[in-house]
Amino acid sequence: MFLLPKGNPLFENLAVSKLKLPDVLIKLSNGAFTGYANFVFQSSTSILVFEAGKLVSVLFEGENGKREAGFEALSALAELMVSTGSGALNVYKLSKDLTMCIHALLGGEMLYKAQELKLIDIKTLLEKVKEGQMNGCLRIYTDEHSAMIFYKGGNPLGFFHDGASDIETSSTESQKIAGLPGAKIDLFSTQSADELMGTNLLEVTNIQKIWDTCIALHKTEIDKTNFERQERGRKVISQKLAEMEEQVRSIVGEYVGKVGRGIVDKEISDNGGNSCLIDADRTEKFIKGVERAAKLLVSGTNIKLMMEKLSSVISIARSKF
Amino acid sequence: MEKFFELLTQMNPYDLVQVILWGLAGAISFYFSIGNARVWTSISIGFFLIFLSQAYGINPWGHYQKLTAFHYIVGTVAIMIITHGFLEYYVFCRTFEISGNKLVVYLGTIIILLIAGTFLIINPVPSPNTIRNLKMVENAIWVILCIMNLEVVRKIYTAIKGSDIAKGFIAFGIVFICILVWRGSDLYLQIFQWDQDWQDIITLMTEETSDIEEYLGRVEILKEVSRYAGLLSGISVGGTFVYMYKLLK
């Protein structure tokens, strides 16, 4: 998104993670704020333009450069505020007229878009702006540079260019860019500041509801992620347990024969499934059960060897959980 | 004691050897039941009871008919308890469930024998014919349950093949084949009334005749088969328990 004049900074670099969008908007609205609030995220930006406490326009530019305005922009902003842990809020107070020009730039009517300067008569265009007593913004840019001229009633309010922090009265930079090869212009117009006062997005949108919905959605997302993580964890544990169970089964089978596998299955089932192999008390019961059954089938010497091997394998495997 | 030694000297050497072998087998199986898991108790107690049933020949009070009858009842109880033991072992092989305790088996056996004793006490003194009937019933039950046990032992062997003890059940199979031949030949003689008891009965008590003279060769063969199979049964039981003890050590 293009740079905007900073005017009088009220807040800069406030951590978004600690803010609630409805609180911010209500605060700015109640304070009859005029200017704009700029939410800056890692790869997204949102600008909210206020005129005497009224939210006149909202613009949201996402990761892929896609822009949204109005209700969609507010929703996207709320969603990002809730879901991201980073981001900063800057609030700049501007004059009523300049705020109107910013609104024109962000949400006004686009009269010219990406017009190559060499193909149009700039002099005639400027006369048209003056004669039409236009309120708006003329943006002159190349691939590397950009400058803006803000108009009120057809007269320039000031000039702003990349690298500056505020508007200037000199047109030198704008003329320089206009002289560069491949320079283009965009022309945005808007209603007068007084007419703009009739618009207040805060009145037509239930920001609290948007925020609450985002919170709820985010919570659902987090719950879903947690659930998936737990499921993955459970899957890993169940896979490890299955491997451990098979290891135990093959040890008992080695000493007791094929019937040994049945003994393991029965003892595992009696002790509440293969999770008994990682629970100290239940493992003891399991081992005793296997030993008791094996005594009917295997010699004392082999039982001793089997039990030693079984205990060692179970304790090694258990340490991996 | 004198009477006991007198009886020993009067006994047929084959019968004496057989009783001694059953005594050894009984002692080994009883010892086996003490040191081993519960499932073995019924089997070993049953084999121990065979010795008691065979010991009537050396019983100084064996001339009391009720006591003679009791020996045959003990023999019947023996095979029933053995069968119960093998069925329990088979159930264990299929379900791996081990339940109950040894004391119940010991007490249960004693109670059954007490009931049998009471049955004999409250009834009239059995005649030689009744005693022969009891002996025949005993042999019939032994034959039927031996056949059944052979099948159970085969199934157990199939289920536990690969374990240390599996071959021990082949030995039990041999035991039941020996017992089947022993008891079967005896039953054969009884069914056709060629047995010694029947010959004694008709000589002393009835005027009935016997066709034994016509089948003397067959009768002699059956008697010899019964005698040697009886001996082999005692040897095989003792040997099997020693083998099992070795396998489980």
pLDDT of residue B133: 94
Cα dihedral value A199, A204, A208, A209, nearest 10: -150
Q: How far apart are CA B237 and CA B249, in angstroms?
A: 18
pLDDT of residue A101: 76
Tell me: the pLDDT tens digits for A180-194? 888 888 888 876 656
* Contact A267/B at CB under 8 A: yes
* Contact B160/A at CB under 8 A: yes
Q: Do A267 and B96 count as a contact with CB atoms less than 8 A apart?
A: yes
Number of domains chain B is built from: 1
Instruction: State which residues of chain B have pLDDT below 50.
Output: none
Nearest to A247 by CA among A172, A175, A316: A316
Q: What CATH number is associated with residue B158?
A: 1.20.1070
Single pTM value for the model: 0.65
Q: Which residue do the tokens 């053995």 mark?
A: B82
Q: Do A257 and B162 count as a contact with CB atoms less than 8 A apart?
A: yes
Q: Do A257 and B160 count as a contact with CB atoms less than 8 A apart?
A: yes
Asked whether residue A279 carries a pLDDT value surpassing 70, the answer given is: yes
Instruction: Measure B36 CA to nearest chain A CA, in Å.
Output: 8
* Contact B93/A at CB under 8 A: yes
User: Token digits for A67?
Assistant: 């822009």
Q: Contacts of residue A259 in chain B, CB cutoff 8 Å?
A: 93, 159-160, 162-163
Average predicted confidence (pLDDT) for chain A: 85
Asked whether residue A64 carries a pLDDT value surpassing 90, the answer given is: no
Closest residue in B to A293 (Cα) is B96
Domain that holds residue B185: 2-248
pLDDT of residue A192: 65
Beta strands in A171-290 (DSSP E): 184-190
Q: How far apart are CA A188 and CA A150, in angstroms?
A: 10
Q: Do A259 and B93 count as a contact with CB atoms less than 8 A apart?
A: yes
* Contact A292/B at CB under 8 A: yes
* Contact A262/B at CB under 8 A: yes
Q: Contacts of residue B159 in chain A, CB cutoff 8 Å?
A: 259
Q: Note the ipTM here.
A: 0.75
Q: Which residues contact A97 (CB under 8 A, 6 or more apart)?
A: A150, A152, A157, A193
Q: Do A262 and B161 count as a contact with CB atoms less than 8 A apart?
A: no
Residue A52 has phi, psi (to 5 degrees) of 50, 45
